[in-house]
Structure 1
Amino acid sequence: MSPSTQRITVGELAARFLEQCGVRAAFGVISIHNMPILDAFHTRQKIRFVSARGEAGACNMADAYARVSGTLGVCVTSTGTGCGNAAGAMVEAITAGTPLLHLTGQIESPFLDRDLGYIHEHPAQLAMLKSVGKDAFRIRNPETALATLREAVRLAQTPPCGPVSIEIPIDVQKMKLDLPADLSPLAVPPVQPNLAAVDQLAERLLSAKRPLLWLGGGARGASAAAQRLVKMGWAVVSSVQGRGIVPEDHPASLGSYNLQKPAEEFYETVDALLAVGTRLRSNETLNYKLKLPATRYRIDANALAHNRGYTSELFVHGDAEITLNALADRLEGRMQIDPKLAADVKRARAEAASLVDGTLGQYVKLKNTLAEVVGKNLWWVRDITLSNSMWGNRAPVLDHPRAGVHALGGGIGQGLAMGVGVAVADAEHQLGRRTVSLCGDGGFMLNVGELACAAQEKANVVFLVMNDQRYGVIKNIQDDIYGSRHAYVELHTPDFAQLCASLQVPHFKLADPATTRDTLQKALAHGNGPVVVEVDMNAWGPFAVKFAGPPKKKEEA
Structure 2
Amino acid sequence: MSTTTAGHLIVAQLERAGIKRVYGVPGESFLDVLDGLHGSSIETVVTRHEGGAGFMALTEGRLTGLPGVAMVTRGPGAANAFIAIHTAHQDATPMILFVGLIPVADRGRESFQEFDINAWFGSTAKKVVTLDDAASAARVVDDAIFTALSGRPGPVVIGLPEDVLVHAIDAGTVEPRRISRPEPAAAAMAELESRLAAAARPLVVVGGEGWTQESGDALAGWASRHGIPVLADFRAYDAVPHSSEAYSGYLGYGRSDANAERLDAADLLLFIGCVRGDVLSDGYTRGLDANTVVVNADANLLGHFGREDQHITADATAFSLMLAGTDSAVAPAPGWLAGARAEHLKFSAAQPDGGTGVDLGVVMELLKQEMADDAVLTFGAGNHALWPARYLAHNSANSLAAPRNGAMGMGIPAAVAASLAYPGRQVISVAGDGCFMMNGQEIATAMGHGAAFIVLVVDNGIFATIREHQENHYPGRPSGTHMTNPDFAALARSYGGHGERVERAEDFPAAFRRAAASGLPAVLHLPQDPTTRSPQSN
1:232, distance to aligned residue in structure 2 (A): 2.6
1:476 partnered with 2:468: yes
Match of 2:118 in 1: 126
CA separation of 1:340 and 1:479: change in aligned 2, threshold 3 A: closer
1:530, distance to aligned residue in structure 2 (A): 0.7
- Superposed, 1:268-307 pairs within 5 Å as 270-291=266-287, 294-305=290-301
1:27, distance to aligned residue in structure 2 (A): 0.2
1:515, distance to aligned residue in structure 2 (A): 0.7
CA separation of 1:360 and 1:101: change in aligned 2, threshold 3 A: farther
1:188 partnered with 2:184: no
Query: What is the identity, as a one-letter code, of the residue corresponding to 1:253?
Result: Y
1:543 partnered with 2:538: no
Which has the larger displacement, 502-511 or 305-314?
Answer: 305-314
* Distance (Å, rounded) in 2 between the aligned partners of 1:348 and 1:26: 43
Gaps of 5+ in 1: 548-557
* Distance (Å, rounded) in 2 between the aligned partners of 1:345 and 1:413: 34
Which residue of 221, 225, 244 corresponds with 2:238?
Answer: 244
Which has the larger displacement, 48-57 or 308-317?
Answer: 308-317
Map Cα deviations across residues 3-54 of structure 1 (whole Å, 9 max, x no partner).
xx3111111101110011110011001111112112111222x001100011
1:323, distance to aligned residue in structure 2 (A): 2.7
Match of 1:412 in 2: 408
Which has the larger displacement, 61-70 or 495-504?
Answer: 495-504
Q: Would the aligned equivalents of 1:435 and 1:461 in 2 still touch at CA under 8 Å?
A: yes
Match of 1:551 in 2: none
Which residue of 124, 131, 138 corresponds with 1:139?
Answer: 131
Map Cα deviations across residues 90-115 of structure 1 (whole Å, 9 max, x no partner).
10111111111111111112212x32
Which residue of 250, 258, 275 corresponds with 1:256?
Answer: 250
Match of 1:99 in 2: 94
Match of 1:554 in 2: none
* Distance (Å, rounded) in 2 between the aligned partners of 1:334 and 1:71: 38
Match of 1:343 in 2: 338
Query: What is the identity, as a one-letter code, of the residue corresponding to 2:104?
Result: S
Q: Would the aligned equivalents of 1:87 and 1:132 in 2 still touch at CA under 8 Å?
A: no
Map Cα deviations across residues 472-517 of structure 1 (whole Å, 9 max, x no partner).
1212221111122111111122222332232111101111122121
1:208, distance to aligned residue in structure 2 (A): 3.4
SS in 2 for 1:448: helix
SS in 2 for 1:483: coil
Q: Would the aligned equivalents of 1:360 and 1:544 in 2 still touch at CA under 8 Å?
A: no
* Distance (Å, rounded) in 1 between the aligned partners of 2:67 and 2:534: 41
Query: What is the identity, as a one-letter code, of the residue corresponding to 2:203?
Result: L
SS in 1 for 2:54: helix
* Distance (Å, rounded) in 2 between the aligned partners of 1:177 and 1:292: 56
Map Cα deviations across residues 42-101 of structure 1 (whole Å, 9 max, x no partner).
222x00110001111101001111211122210011112111211111101111111111
1:309, distance to aligned residue in structure 2 (A): 2.2
TM-score by length of 2: 0.92
CA separation of 1:126 and 1:346: change in aligned 2, threshold 3 A: closer
* Distance (Å, rounded) in 1 between the aligned partners of 2:221 and 2:104: 55
Map Cα deviations across residues 223-249 of structure 1 (whole Å, 9 max, x no partner).
244135224323211113332322112
Which has the larger displacement, 362-371 or 248-257?
Answer: 248-257
Gaps of 5+ in 2: none
* Distance (Å, rounded) in 2 between the aligned partners of 1:74 and 1:247: 29
Map Cα deviations across residues 159-187 of structure 1 (whole Å, 9 max, x no partner).
2111101111111111121242x522222
1:214 partnered with 2:201: no
Q: Would the aligned equivalents of 1:261 and 1:352 in 2 still touch at CA under 8 Å?
A: no
Match of 1:321 in 2: 317
* Distance (Å, rounded) in 1 between the aligned partners of 2:415 and 2:454: 8
Query: What is the identity, as a one-letter code, of the residue corresponding to 1:119?
Result: F
Match of 2:481 in 1: 489
1:401, distance to aligned residue in structure 2 (A): 2.8
Match of 2:511 in 1: 519
Q: Would the aligned equivalents of 2:206 and 2:236 in 1 still touch at CA under 8 Å?
A: yes
* Distance (Å, rounded) in 2 between the aligned partners of 1:268 and 1:131: 33
Match of 2:361 in 1: 364
Q: Would the aligned equivalents of 2:452 and 2:521 in 1 still touch at CA under 8 Å?
A: yes
* Distance (Å, rounded) in 2 between the aligned partners of 1:292 and 1:379: 33
Query: What is the identity, as a one-letter code, of the residue corresponding to 1:502?
Result: S
Query: What is the identity, as a one-letter code, of the residue corresponding to 2:197?
Result: L
SS in 1 for 2:500: strand
Which has the larger displacement, 457-466 or 341-350?
Answer: 341-350
CA separation of 1:358 and 1:338: change in aligned 2, threshold 3 A: farther
Match of 1:447 in 2: 439
1:307, distance to aligned residue in structure 2 (A): 9.0
CA separation of 1:178 and 1:63: change in aligned 2, threshold 3 A: same
Match of 2:105 in 1: 110
CA separation of 1:227 and 1:360: change in aligned 2, threshold 3 A: farther
* Distance (Å, rounded) in 1 between the aligned partners of 2:66 and 2:87: 17
Match of 2:166 in 1: 174
CA separation of 1:191 and 1:360: change in aligned 2, threshold 3 A: farther
1:508 partnered with 2:500: yes
Q: Would the aligned equivalents of 2:220 and 2:241 in 1 still touch at CA under 8 Å?
A: no
Q: Would the aligned equivalents of 2:6 and 2:135 in 1 still touch at CA under 8 Å?
A: no
Q: Would the aligned equivalents of 1:37 and 1:173 in 2 still touch at CA under 8 Å?
A: yes
Map Cα deviations across residues 269-298 of structure 1 (whole Å, 9 max, x no partner).
644321111133333332122347733322
Q: Would the aligned equivalents of 2:117 and 2:128 in 1 still touch at CA under 8 Å?
A: no
1:84 partnered with 2:84: no
Map Cα deviations across residues 302-360 of structure 1 (whole Å, 9 max, x no partner).
1222892231332222212223344444x416444556444223222134335x74767
Match of 1:56 in 2: 51
Query: What is the identity, as a one-letter code, of the residue corresponding to 2:366?
Result: T
Which has the larger displacement, 308-317 or 171-180?
Answer: 308-317
* Distance (Å, rounded) in 2 between the aligned partners of 1:304 and 1:507: 48
Which residue of 450, 454, 459 corresponds with 1:462?
Answer: 454
CA separation of 1:218 and 1:202: change in aligned 2, threshold 3 A: farther
Q: Would the aligned equivalents of 2:25 and 2:72 in 1 still touch at CA under 8 Å?
A: yes
Map Cα deviations across residues 356-401 of structure 1 (whole Å, 9 max, x no partner).
747676321111111111132210101112121x322233110123
Q: Would the aligned equivalents of 1:267 and 1:293 in 2 still touch at CA under 8 Å?
A: no
Q: Would the aligned equivalents of 2:131 and 2:137 in 1 still touch at CA under 8 Å?
A: yes
* Distance (Å, rounded) in 2 between the aligned partners of 1:21 and 1:480: 51
Query: What is the identity, as a one-letter code, of the residue corresponding to 2:373?
Result: K
Match of 1:550 in 2: none
Match of 1:376 in 2: 373
TM-score by length of 1: 0.89
Match of 1:198 in 2: 189
Work out the percentage of aligned pairs sharing the same amino acid: 23
CA separation of 1:275 and 1:360: change in aligned 2, threshold 3 A: farther
Aligned residues: 528
* Distance (Å, rounded) in 1 between the aligned partners of 2:526 and 2:158: 41
Aligned-residue RMSD, C-alpha: 2.4
CA separation of 1:196 and 1:394: change in aligned 2, threshold 3 A: same
SS in 1 for 2:279: helix
CA separation of 1:357 and 1:312: change in aligned 2, threshold 3 A: farther
Map Cα deviations across residues 407-446 of structure 1 (whole Å, 9 max, x no partner).
211121121111111111113xxxx321111111112112
